[in-house]
Amino acid sequence: MRRVLLLVGAVACVAGAPARLAAVQADQATRSLQERLARVGADVLSGTDHMAEAIAELKAIIAIDPRLADAHLLLGVAYRSVGSPDLTGEATAELLQALALDPRSIPARYYLARLYIDVGRPKRAREELETALAQMPGQPQFLALLGEAERQLGNPARSLELNRQVLQGDESFAEARYYLGLAMYDLGRRDEAIQEFERVVRSGVQKPEVLLSLGTAYVQAGRLEAAIETLDTATTLAPSRADIRIELARAYRSKRLLAKAEEQLTLAEPNAAPALASTADQQIESDFYQELGLVKLQAHQLAAAAKAFRKVLDIDPNHGPANRALAEVYLLQGLYARALECAIRAEKAGFPLPDEKRKLIAERAGAKGKGRE
């Protein structure tokens, strides 16, 4: 928004009056472009429902002046808001270009860090945030996001420290509180995490991420009514988010409402695997089949359960919960050698079966081993 626009053709005039006229026209064009940018910027930053139109307008502005750093910044933010995996790379590219055009652009660096957090690249997020903090020491938004990057890098205690520091300065800062809750959850302090998430929601924040975290914590705590209500709200905010529906299915299954659980899983079912599925997509696929297997197991549909768990193991053969559940299925099916194999893998992954089941599988598998399965 600070840059001077030189429209194509406006520089072609010779000296004298035409030159002055050209300068006036260029100045008007610049102001007009700045006004357009300001308008669309307000839309993008307020999360307009008309993001496609905002993107089209930003592209039109960049077509006129490709060196407007703020236009690239806003386009990056707009792409990120759309949330489509197809556009995530483009969002990063636009923000990187904004930074290349204006290396001191703090907003570009901040949104770039957010994107890196979104796509599971916390190390790069940390690099950007540390650079931004060097420019603006103590900036609470950067500190909060840095805390989240640290948590994702396996340092929840550092996140706790940073976000507490931020909240001391402004205890109404919902994002910092949310990150604080996530850090507490990672540290095993589930009930405190729930309290923090609840405070965030009570403050008026209705974001799918927050509701998913709260709903997940409720499921863990056995507060299933609250979990279902929270996750149901989350699905209305983000109907296409498979991860939320999988968690809601889990809550229903925990309440033995299997039909409702299956209904949610039907809505969450992954499409045919894309050729280059991201790690996040694969995680969702794995979670989907794990939950489906558990629902089928509870419904005593053993073949369907085994099929679902095997899908999880296709993605990761050492998946502890899937191995443990599949061992149980095989035990029920009388396939003891296979059950033993899965039980051993589950134990190695830190998810052992209950003692009595382990013993039973070992005995039966031993007996069968002497004969044949």
Is residue 323 part of the contact set for other proteins (CB under 8 A)? no
How many Cβ atoms from other residues are within 10 Å of residue 299's Cβ?
16
d(CA 212, CA 137): 32
Mark the segment that binds other proteins (CB under 8 A) among 172-180, 231-239, 314-322, 336-344.
Answer: 314-322
Is the CB of 93 or the CB of 299 nearer to other proteins?
Answer: 93
Mark the segment that binds other proteins (CB under 8 A) among 54-62, 140-148, 222-230, 236-244.
Answer: 54-62
One of 316, 344, 347, 360 touching other proteins (CB under 8 A): 316
Q: Which of positions 169-198 make contact with other proteins (CB under 8 A)?
A: none
Q: Which of 337, 282, 342, 268 is nearest to 315 (CA)?
A: 282
d(CA 215, CA 200): 13
Is residue 64 part of the contact set for other proteins (CB under 8 A)? yes
How many Cβ atoms from other residues are within 10 Å of residue 371's Cβ?
6
The dihedrals phi and psi of 84, each to the nearest 5 degrees, come to: -80, 135
Count residues near other proteins (CB under 8 A).
Answer: 39
Is residue 89 part of the contact set for other proteins (CB under 8 A)? yes
One of 28, 206, 236, 318 touching other proteins (CB under 8 A): 318
Is the CB of 108 or the CB of 251 nearer to other proteins?
Answer: 108
**What Cα–Cα distance (Å) separates residue 32 from each residue in 3, 73, 78?**
13, 19, 21
| Long-range contacts of residues 237-244, Cβ cutoff 8 Å, at least 24 apart | 237/206, 237/207, 237/208, 237/211, 238/208, 241/208, 241/212, 242/268, 242/269, 242/270, 242/284, 242/288, 243/212, 243/268, 243/284, 243/287, 244/208, 244/211, 244/212, 244/215
H or E segment and range at residue 106: helix 106-118
Q: How far is the CB of 184 from other proteins (least distance, A)?
A: 28
3-state secondary structure of 104: coil
Q: How far is the CB of 34 from other proteins (least distance, A)?
A: 18
One of 20, 50, 59, 359 touching other proteins (CB under 8 A): 59
Half-sphere exposure of 266 (CA within 13 A, CB side): 6
One of 21, 278, 354, 373 touching other proteins (CB under 8 A): 278
**Distance of alpha carbon 26 from its chain centroid, rounded?**
43
Angle (CA) 334-335-336 rounded to 5° is 95
d(CA 302, CA 312): 15
Q: How far is the CB of 344 from other proteins (least distance, A)?
A: 17
Is residue 271 part of the contact set for other proteins (CB under 8 A)? no
One of 14, 63, 134, 259 touching other proteins (CB under 8 A): 63
Is residue 273 part of the contact set for other proteins (CB under 8 A)? yes
Under 8 Å between Cβ of 129 and 103 = no
Q: How far is the CB of 139 from other proteins (least distance, A)?
A: 23
Is residue 317 part of the contact set for other proteins (CB under 8 A)? yes
Mark the segment that binds other proteins (CB under 8 A) among 146-154, 168-176, 213-221, 307-315.
Answer: 307-315
Is residue 78 part of the contact set for other proteins (CB under 8 A)? no
Is residue 277 part of the contact set for other proteins (CB under 8 A)? yes
Q: Which residue has the tokens 């300065």?
A: 169
One of 40, 54, 55, 129 touching other proteins (CB under 8 A): 55
Is residue 87 part of the contact set for other proteins (CB under 8 A)? yes
**Site string (93-132) toward other proteins, x via CB under 8 A:** xx-xx-xx------------------x-x--x--------
Is the CB of 282 or the CB of 333 nearer to other proteins?
Answer: 282
Is the CB of 101 or the CB of 265 nearer to other proteins?
Answer: 101
Is residue 279 part of the contact set for other proteins (CB under 8 A)? yes
* Residue count of the chain: 373
- List residues near other proteins by CB under 8 A: 55-56, 59-60, 62-64, 66-67, 85-90, 92-94, 96-97, 99-100, 119, 121, 124, 272-273, 275-279, 282, 313-318
